[in-house]
Amino acid sequence: MPDIRPTDSDCLVVIDLQNDFIPGGALAVPGGDTVVPVIDDLLDRFDHVVASQDWHPAGHFSFASAQPEVQPYDTIAAAYGPQTVWPDHCVQGTEGADFHPDFRIERAELILRKGYRREIDSYSAFFENDRETPTGLAGYLRERGFKRLFFCGLATDFCVRWSVEDAVKEGFDTVLIEDACRAIDLDGSLNAALAAMDAAGAIRIASSEIAA
């Protein structure tokens, strides 16, 4: 496969590269820190970058601490379907919600905050977990004229996966940069996520396939 050369209609989408998802954070993704230099290199290959940011209020519905008699990583029944409950993470205004200090956030033309509605979680950068409430990202990207989206960030099997699948549904050519992501991998969720993204029609590549 020849090197992919990003054009003006391509956009790099960086998902949730935040302190709480880095080893040492409240909801650490194993190896999450290893994607930071890979993404840093990618920033120099794209003219256009957007970033999503988990942005929960304290006491968010998806926090195990806000639910009676559950433990982190349990699944509960939400009004919109099954919901994994998490350790408190990415609480608005905290250091854990900040982007990793080595992420050159000044390269992002848009920061899309999600998960700020107290009673509903938001994995995807496009829709809340009810699968009905849009974040506005699709409209922004379409109005900017972007046709192809390249995804990287954390975590492969949750926020990246849901964002990739929704990007395909919204009509974008969608590419997962696999070595620029890491997974939580709950009970085989990584393999399930990769299979789902493949089935949706996303393409998987390595960062080395994108021309500098």
Active centre residues (catalytic): 16, 114, 159
Nearest of 91, 60, 90 to residue 76 by alpha carbon: 60
Residues 6+ positions from 98 with CB-CB distance below 8 Å: 18, 19
Angle at which helices 161-169 and 189-200 cross, to 10°: 10
Q: Is 76 helix (H, G, I), strand (E, B) or coil?
A: strand
Nearest of 147, 138, 137, 134 to residue 175 by alpha carbon: 147
Q: Which helix (H) or strand (E) holds 51?
A: strand 49-54
Q: In this structure, what token pair is assigned to residue 87?
A: 């350790």
Nearest of 51, 46, 49, 41 to residue 17 by alpha carbon: 51
Give CA separation, 3 vs 35, 45, 206, 208, 212, in Å: 20, 12, 10, 8, 9
